[in-house]
Every structure is written in C-alpha cells, then in structure tokens.
Structure 1
Amino acid sequence: MKKYVAALAAVVAAPTITAGLVGGTTQPAVGAGGGNFGSIQVVCRSSHTNSDDPIVFPRQPGAAHQHDFFGNTSTNAFSTVASLTGKPTTCSRPGDTAAYWAPTLLNNGRRVVPDRVIAYYRTSRIRDIASIRPFPRGLKMIAGSSTATASNPQPTRITNWNCGDGVDGTAKIPSSCPNTPEDPLRLRIEFPNCWNGRTLDSPDHKSHMAYAGVGGASGCPKSHPVAVPALSLNFRYKISGPLSGVRLSSGGVYSGHADFFNSWNQRVLARLVHDCLNAGQVCVSKIGDAPKP
C-alpha cells in the first residue's frame, strides 16, 4: 500500500499535461449541494467482436458468450496488461488504451453493432475528492451480473436501460426508442469505486472492489479504503422501433454487465485524475476525437 502511494506521488509530481490537451476540454464544475466534483469523459467507438473474455476465461478463446469490445483494439483471450499496453485504441483520449467490453446486443438473433460507449470517470459518493487515486496498472473488474433475471433483477444503480444518455433508467428494456440521434437505446453499467489496495483481481472478479456510499454513508468502507474513479459505461445502440426481440448474448435483457481491464497510459491517467477529479473539473471529450478501428 505504501509503495503504491509513493509511486502515485511520483507520477502526479511529473510535468503538467493540461487535461484539455489529452483529448477533450476542461471546465469548472460544482456538484449537487454546492460541493466540488469532477469527471473525465472518454468516447470509444466499437472495435471488434468475439467470444473471448481475458478476465473470466483467460487463454481460452471462444469460451465466453459473444462480446463487443471497445478501446484497445488488440483485446482477446490471451490479453495481459503487458500485451495491451501501448496498443492502438478507438477512444477519444489517446492515452486510454484500456479494454472495455460487454455482451453483444441481439435483435431477433442478429447482432446490433454498437454505435459507441461513453465512459465517465467521476468522483461519485466521495466527499474528499482529493483522495481519489488512479486505477492501478493491470486492475481488472466486472460490474453487473450475467445471471440476473426478471425474477431476480439487479439494482438499477448498477445497471439500467433507457433511451438517451441520462443516468436514470429501468431494469427492463424500453418497449421502443425514438428514431433520433439524441435518444439511442442505452445500457448503463456502474462500476465500484473503492479498492482494497492489495489485489488487482479476485476469484469472483468483484470482491477486491466495493461501492462507495453504501447505506447512505459517504466514502469508502474500511475493507476497501482506496478511493478510485467511479467508472460508468454508457453503451449506445442505433436501433429504433419495437424492442421486443432484443436481448443480450449473456441471456435476457436483465443480464447486463461489463468488464474493465486497466491498461491506460498510467502517466496520462494520473494527470487526468489530478487535473479533473481531484481539482473538481469536468473534462469532456467527443466522438470526433475517437479514431476508427
């Protein structure tokens, strides 16, 4: 833990990289209730699709249900943090070479090609935003559940559906979405933002992480004392009309989940956390900055 904090201090003390120059712009932000908060926005185009999962089924190509991948273009069953680092990305911030993936959306059995994913790194439920640290290199985590069902749904604060980019949504997919660019079908997944400070993964790929603010409290639990960015992924799909034939490759529409494998350029990530989250700034980005795969 001490070594991690010391290494982080060295990175943050490095020469300044203005957040707006790392892909996107910066503007001040004030949170609800007048408290400062910050966020980092990254927009990533869809990269590729396959049935690999380097977190759940490492070195077992084709063992998973079908996934759509975003960000790092090299992600496959054999991916490691070393193999991912420095590879091309479909994200709007060049330093974001992390791997993001989610189950493929199917409409009457046919794949719906995702439009993009909008990743938000926020200061959610952390009162002391200066305490938030970058994700450690190689961190793996999964949010949501592939086994959730209509009779046993997930909390909508973790995963929900909607038309458009709002935070709120429902466990059940909408019956239809308007045929407008502003209101695509959207699946939102919220990741935990407290780390145990010791392990980069766990047997269930979840227990090394925890959500801040559980039970109405602010901050991280003692078991997971290190505050990290609150990552939420908003997967957007260009599909309109009736959605009764839509499901996920992992099962029904209630089985929404997503995976994150941190292979960011750590110096860039640390600077963004420092300049945007710790400083209470909103650092935005746009799809035009994202390279095509």
Structure 2
Amino acid sequence: MYWKSLLATAVAVASTAEAATTLRFSCSQLVVERLDPLVNPGVTPSPHLHQVVGGNAFNSTMDYTVHDMPTTATCTSCTPIEDFSNYWTAVLFFRARNGTFRRVSTFGNELGFTAATGGQTVYYLTTGSGKVTAFKPGFRMTVGDPSFRTAAQIRKYPMLTFTCLQSSMTRSGATTDFPKGACPAGIMASVRFPTCWNGKDLDSPDHQSHTAYPQGGSCPSTHPVSVPQVFYETYWDTRPFNNKAEWPADGSQPFVWSFGDKSGYGHHADYVFGWKGDALQRAMDTNCNSDLFSNKINCPTLKVQTIEQANKCTQKVQVREDLDSWLTTLPGGMPVN
C-alpha cells in the first residue's frame, strides 16, 4: 500500500489507460556556492547561496550558444550519464537562539538513495495523455519568487511545499511554509515546475513567462506545448537542530533560506536543460520509468551510472567563503525578514 501511495505522489495524475513516464533518479551534490547563471548571470558572487546538482559545466554564465553543457561537462552527479542539466535551489540555514547561523546539509533520499552525498531526487513526469516534447538546448526556467513572505502570495505556486518527515516514509501533511515543529527525520522540500511551454522561447525576462501550469487539465492556448514536469525533492538534514532549547526564545521555527526568508514562502528553484542529444526525448517517447521497489531506471534507451560513481562528480568552488562554521550573518550579508 505504501508503494502505491508513493507512486501516486510521484506521478500526481489521475488514472489513465495510456502509458506515462515516471523517471526518478538521484543527483548527488555537485557544489554549494554563490553563483546563479539565470538570475545573476556573470555576477561572482551572486547575492545568495545555492546548492547545485547535475553536470560540472555549471558556471556563473551559461549562454548555451558558447557554453554547450553536454560537450563542456566532463561528468554529471546524476545517475543518467546523458543528463548534464543543472538543478539548483537556495540553501537552508539554522538560526540559533543567540542569532548565529549554521548551514543545513542535504542528505540522500532514504527511499532508495541513501548512498548519495546529499543533493536531490529528480523526477521527469508525464501523464501519458498525448505527445510530450522534451526541452530544447538552451531551455531554462525558474519557479517561485524569493520576495514572497505571505500565504496569499504563495498561492501562485501551490506546488512548492515542505514535508516535516516523521520518518523516511512520511508523504503527507505538506505545507507551503516552513514546518512549525521539530521534524524527527528532517525536512523534505518539493518543487514541481510548470508543464506547458509557449513553443518558441527558450527563456523569458522573468524566466517564467514562457511556461505555464495546465488549466483544467490542459495546456492553455498561450502555452500549447506539453513538456515533462521537472520535480525536485531535497532532503534537508535538520535533525541535528531539533533541540528546542536552541530555538528562538519565542518558540518560533528556526530555519531560514539563504536569501533571508524565515517564512518559507519564498521557496524557489532553477533549472537549465542539458541532456545530451535526443536522450530525454527518447525516454519520453518510450515511456521510461523507475522501479519504485528496486530504485532502478527501467529505460534501455538511457545509459546510467551508479550513485557511487555519481558521487565522484563534484566541482571546485569558485567563490571561496566559510560555509561550515557558525556564522554571524548569512553568506553575502543577506538580512533576515
């Protein structure tokens, strides 16, 4: 019964007679640093800290016309070895009662990916209801808004959530703000990107307008092309910080995003497509999937590596700063609000 529930969570679509693609795989941590080639291209360092997985071509500027990821990268921290995409989010920090900050690490998804050195679980999902077009070289997008601080604002992005893990099996009780109590098995942050594309723009000024969520189960006429749903699950190891004697004196939750958000409503994520050749389209066309019992990708058309091999793909930090000590301010001096 549990595995059926997990599959329903992963696919999040109604029952269908047509085949669907449910690719689920591990991406180990590539690098943690202040770079953001989408929102702050060429800026070193970027204003706030990010945790990044995927191909090691990640850089401060990623113009695909001169920076072709599949040919520039020499490895990927994801298990499909033809996936040189980059996936990144902000970084979680614990703010202690005395006002100092400690970076929270990611850890391998305990549902099959414990061998991973942090990072994320990545999904590519389809409903199986018609043709799904893989992203094109140069495609990129973001979801969420780091300026949001209210429940009313986050209604624009209801598919950005947090789950307070009571155990590794927890898959209920998701909220759009940070959990209020201690989470015995950590906090899972989930991100689902839009699945409709306008069919022409690889990006847009706000990095979002060229994409849209379905309306009434179908893509709107302004964004008629169905694309795979990119879905991240990031496990944050908040377990070392569950002692409430170290939490703020007023009992409020102690976690804050690296851009200063203590509400959780500013949750956001970035994606740059970097699959080699037509690998992702082949996977979509053949309805590849991942076995939720063995955690193996059932997709003969894709080449895969082990998690242990993926762990070896890391990137040298370009922005050097102390990220592993107690800090008096967030990296970049970001204010908490």
With the shorter chain as reference, the TM-score category is: 0.7 to 0.9
- Counterpart residue identity of residue 234, structure 2: F
Q: 1:80 aligns with which of 63, 75, 82?
A: 63
- Counterpart residue identity of residue 233, structure 2: N
Q: Which residue of 2 aligns with 1:149?
A: 149
Rounded to whole Å, the distance in 1 between the matches of 2:26 and 2:201 is: 28
Q: Show structure 2 runs of 5+ residues with no match.
A: 1-10, 96-100, 108-118, 248-252, 297-305, 315-337
Q: Which residue of 1 aligns with 2:139?
A: 139
TM-score (norm 2): 0.68
8 Å CA contact 1:105, 1:247 repeated in 2:
yes
Question: Cα gap change, 1:211/1:111 in structure 2, threshold over 3 Å: closer, same or farther?
Answer: same
Q: Which residue of 2 aligns with 1:19?
A: none
8 Å CA contact 1:160, 1:189 repeated in 2:
yes
8 Å CA contact 2:151, 2:265 repeated in 1:
no
Q: Which residue of 2 aligns with 1:256?
A: 267
Range with greater deviation from structure 2 (185-194 or 142-151): 142-151
Give how far 1:43 is off.
1.1
Question: Cα gap change, 1:169/1:96 in structure 2, threshold over 3 Å: closer, same or farther?
Answer: same
Rounded to whole Å, the distance in 1 between the matches of 2:190 and 2:274 is: 22
8 Å CA contact 1:45, 1:291 repeated in 2:
yes
| Paired residues for 1:1-293 under 5 Å | 32-36=14-18, 37-81=20-64, 82-86=67-71, 87=73, 88-108=75-95, 109-115=101-107, 116-124=119-127, 127-128=129-130, 131-150=131-150, 152-155=152-155, 157-164=158-165, 166=171, 169-174=174-179, 175-179=181-185, 184-212=186-214, 214=215, 217-240=216-239, 241=242, 244-252=253-261, 253-276=264-287, 281-282=289-290, 285=295, 288=307, 291-292=310-311, 293=314
Report SS of the residue matched to 2:260: coil
8 Å CA contact 1:45, 1:290 repeated in 2:
no
Q: Which residue of 2 aligns with 1:11?
A: none
Report SS of the residue matched to 1:70: strand
Question: Cα gap change, 1:149/1:220 in structure 2, threshold over 3 Å: closer, same or farther?
Answer: same
Report SS of the residue matched to 2:284: helix
Larger Cα Rg: Structure 1 or Structure 2? 2
8 Å CA contact 2:151, 2:176 repeated in 1:
no
Rounded to whole Å, the distance in 2 between the matches of 1:69 and 1:149 is: 24
Post-superposition Cα deviations, 1:83-119, rounded to whole Å, max 9, x if no partner, equal 4224111111111110111111111222112222111
8 Å CA contact 1:91, 1:290 repeated in 2:
no
Question: Cα gap change, 1:202/1:31 in structure 2, threshold over 3 Å: closer, same or farther?
Answer: closer
Post-superposition Cα deviations, 1:22-65, rounded to whole Å, max 9, x if no partner, equal xxxxxxx9963343332111211111112111111111111331
Higher relative contact order (CA 8 A, sep 6+): 1
Rounded to whole Å, the distance in 2 between the matches of 1:290 and 1:167 is: 32
- Counterpart residue identity of residue 170, structure 1: T
Rounded to whole Å, the distance in 2 between the matches of 1:232 and 1:168 is: 18
Q: Which residue of 2 aligns with 1:7?
A: none
> Which segments of structure 1 move beyond 6 Å, counting only runs of 4 or more?
none
Q: CA RMSD in A?
A: 2.5
Rounded to whole Å, the distance in 1 between the matches of 2:307 and 2:258 is: 29
Post-superposition Cα deviations, 1:158-200, rounded to whole Å, max 9, x if no partner, equal 2110034637610122222114xxxx31111110111111110
Question: Cα gap change, 1:190/1:134 in structure 2, threshold over 3 Å: closer, same or farther?
Answer: same
